[in-house]
């Protein structure tokens, strides 16, 4: 999923490491949806900062630049949180619902 890479220097103690951010593509098949947004801990759960665009097959896509790590996210589809996509890993959240998980390497 990683495409373009940007390097960021991170200091940990006496060591200096370069971490590379990656453009990660997110996609969601929903031909009937009129608007879809990606929100997660990587954008402070902002439901408007990462709009997704629908292709001719009804698949919504967007890219997010992420450093390696574990992130939780959801899709905000037509003003409703989506939290049940069978093939994605989910974890419970403090609100009693579920978030999806992605790991960037």
Domains of the chain plus CATH, in order, are 5-104 (2.60.40.10)
Question: pLDDT tens across 16-66, in order?
Answer: 456 799 999 999 999 999 999 999 999 999 999 999 999 999 999 999 999
pLDDT at 3 over 90: no
CA-nearest of 80, 69, 77 to 102 is 69
Q: What pTM was computed for the model?
A: 0.81
Strands 98-104 and 69-77: antiparallel
């Amino acid at each position: 999923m990683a495409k373009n890479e940007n390097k960021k220097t991170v200091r940990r103690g006496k060591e200096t490491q370069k971490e590379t951010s990656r453009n990660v593509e997110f996609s969601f098949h929903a031909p009937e949806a009129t608007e879809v947004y990606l929100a997660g801990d990587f954008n402070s759960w902002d439901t408007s900062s990462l709009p997704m665009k629908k292709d001719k097959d009804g698949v919504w896509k967007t890219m997010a630049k992420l450093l390696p790590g574990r992130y939780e996210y959801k899709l905000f589809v037509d003003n409703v949180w989506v939290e049940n996509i069978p093939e994605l890993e989910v974890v419970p959240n403090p609100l009693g619902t579920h978030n999806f998980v992605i790991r960037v390497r």
